[in-house]
């Protein structure tokens, strides 16, 4: 598939972060396959197929719409998953101390959640933000999302747990 200049930049940054982690930890970080085929609310996703090269899938639309934050946050976030898994094994928690350690090395904020508007990537007309509780996914309007940023809590009517922003 044809790659844009921005996608080539993301690909290069991915490989660069991977190499710098390998140098820092003095261990071969392995290879990663980069794709731009992710759609929906997630900005990126790290996959570990059995006996195959790990894959990072990036969301091409969210990349175009959030260029700066994507390079600063989503790319290191996903590469840190690859590195942490390679170095510390499959039993670690996805966003646990090993992953945070790699994020620290990358100088990236170790947050699970992005703040991107997912309205176009989910084909909604209104701006929506991805949230979740203990039982399912939710979408909040920008009004409610802004209230959450100001400290308001919304509870899931089903499981009664607070809604937190979704991740990746």
**83-115: buried (b, 16+ CB within 10 Å) or exposed (e) per residue?**
bbbbbbeeeeeebeebbebbbebbebebeebbe
Q: Is 135 in the site for Zn ion (CB under 5 A)?
A: yes
* Cα R_g (the chain), whole angstroms: 17
Cβ 136 to Zn ion shortest distance, Å? 5
Residue 25-54 contact track with Zn ion, rule CB under 5 A, x = bound? ------------------------------
Q: Is 12 in the site for Zn ion (CB under 5 A)?
A: no
Of the ranges 18-26, 32-40, 102-110, 127-135, which one interacts with Zn ion (CB under 5 A)?
Answer: 127-135
DSSP 94: T
Q: Is 159 in the site for Zn ion (CB under 5 A)?
A: yes
Nearer to Zn ion, 17 or 133 (CB): 133
User: Does residue 9 have an active-site annotation?
Assistant: no
Q: Which of 32, 43, 63, 133 binds Zn ion (CB under 5 A)?
A: 133
Residue 138-157 contact track with Zn ion, rule CB under 5 A, x = bound? ------------------x-
In sequence order, the β-bridge partners of residue 138 are 131
Distance CA 75, CA 64 (A): 13
Alpha helices in the chain, H assignment, sequence order: 5-25, 60-65, 67-69, 75-88, 97-105, 142-149
Please identify which of the residues 3, 9, 65, 78 carries the catalytic annotation: 78
**In the structure encoding, which two tokens stand for residue 70, read together?**
């994507």
**In the structure encoding, which two tokens stand for residue 74, read together?**
């989503």
Cβ 65 to Zn ion shortest distance, Å? 20
DSSP 141: E
Q: Which of 16, 23, 158, 162 binds Zn ion (CB under 5 A)?
A: 158
Could you list the residues that contact Zn ion (CB under 5 A)?
Answer: 133, 135, 156, 158-159, 168
């Amino acid at each position: 598939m044809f790659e844009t200049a921005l996608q080539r930049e993301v690909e290069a940054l991915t490989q660069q972060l991977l190499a710098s982690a390998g140098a820092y930890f003095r261990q071969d970080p392995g290879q990663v396959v980069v794709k731009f085929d992710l759609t929906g609310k997630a900005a990126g996703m790290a996959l570990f197929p059995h006996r195959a090269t790990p894959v990072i899938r990036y969301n091409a639309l969210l990349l175009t719409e959030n260029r700066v934050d994507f390079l600063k946050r989503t790319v290191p976030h996903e590469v840190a998953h690859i590195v942490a898994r390679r170095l510390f094994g499959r039993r670690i928690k996805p966003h646990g101390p090993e992953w945070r350690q790699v994020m620290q090395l990358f100088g990236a904020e170790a947050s699970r959640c992005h703040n991107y508007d997912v309205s176009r990537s989910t084909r909604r007309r209104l701006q929506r933000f991805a949230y979740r509780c203990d039982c399912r996914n939710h979408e909040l309007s920008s009004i409610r999302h802004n209230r959450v940023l100001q400290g308001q809590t919304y509870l899931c009517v089903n499981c009664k747990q607070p809604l937190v922003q979704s991740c990746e």
